[in-house]
Amino acid sequence: MTDKKPEQLLHLVFGGELERVDEVTFKDLDDLDVIGMYPNYSLAYEAWKGAAQRSVDNAHMRYFIVHLHRLLDPAKQSKADASKSCL
């Protein structure tokens, strides 16, 4: 019997204050809020949700989930990716 590790699907959660609410241009790149790196979408989503809820009073603050595993290996699509849409 072999112990197969789950596939690592690295995700980055970060955010910052935008110049305008209808664009994705940050006011200050030195002031980005890096929440962390996560091994799967589910954990990244929970971190994103918490950060977004903490900043709900600031309409210019936005948080994002970056699917790093897609950037590292764009030719490979995981089974989890095939069944989910992106944020």
In a domain, 49, yes or no: yes
- Give how far Cα 43 sits from Cα of 15, 28, 39, 81, Å: 16, 27, 7, 15
In a domain, 6, yes or no: no
Q: What is the CATH number of the domain that holds 28?
A: 3.30.70.2400
Phi, psi dihedral angles at 46 (to 5 degrees): -60, -40
Please report where in the chains the tokens 């989890």 appear, as a residue.
80
- Residue 32: its pLDDT value, please? 97
Q: What is the tally of structural domains in the chain?
A: 1
Residue 66 to residue 87: CA distance in whole angstroms: 9
Q: What residue numbers bound the domain in which 67 lies?
A: 11-82
Residue 40 to residue 84: CA distance in whole angstroms: 12
- Top pLDDT among 28 and 75 is at 28
pTM > 0.75: yes
Beta-ladder partners of 66: 12
- Residue 40: its pLDDT value, please? 95
